[in-house]
Amino acid sequence: MIHIDPKVFPKADGAFLVGGSIRDMLCGRSPVDYDVAVLGDPLEFARLIATRTKGRLVEIGKPGQMIMRVVSDSAIVDIAQAKDVSIQKDLMVRDFTINAMAYDLSSNRLIDPVGAQGDLKNKIIRMVSKDIFKRDPIRLLRAYRIAAEFQFEIESQTNAAIQRHASLIQQSAGERVRAEFFKM
């Protein structure tokens, strides 16, 4: 069941809750933070969230990968521009199927183009595409962290890809590797 706090998240065309927060809610957990992908201007939506929650707006990241973070007493919300012109395409570049869902804030519907709900039900970690580890090697560790945290199994093709690309972890910044280990 997905419960969205209307005091935090307004109905907004082109704004979608995405990723781990959706996974967590469907698993009956309270998300630590929320990720929002917007098809429009992330700064405009972040200002709206900050006003609604009396939160503080902070820009984080680097040029071309900026995230607007709103921190308030009621929530931590990261807002980014969707990676493509549609939310479906944005979801197809995410890491694992269970993190490739979106909740449309305007229509209150779940978008699941990769069968994530089935993988949640079957407790499976499955990569969305074959190049996810090349695009971000931290995902090699994230697969094991999520599997351990949720007591899920890593699907065989995903496990084989992890083994095949294990050496890529050396390309990742040390602080990102450390952060994944601390989360474990």
Q: Which two tokens stand for residue 158?
A: 């995903």
Integer Cα distance of 46 and 79 in angstroms: 6
Model confidence band, residue 65 (pLDDT cutoffs 50, 70, 90): confident
Record the pTM. Answer: 0.90
Q: For 35-45, what is the mean pLDDT?
A: 93
Nearest alpha-carbon partner for 95 in 130, 125, 127: 127
- In residues, how long is the chain? 184
pLDDT digit string, tens, across residues 131-177 = 999 999 999 999 999 999 999 999 999 999 999 999 998 888 888 88
Q: What is the pLDDT of residue 176?
A: 86
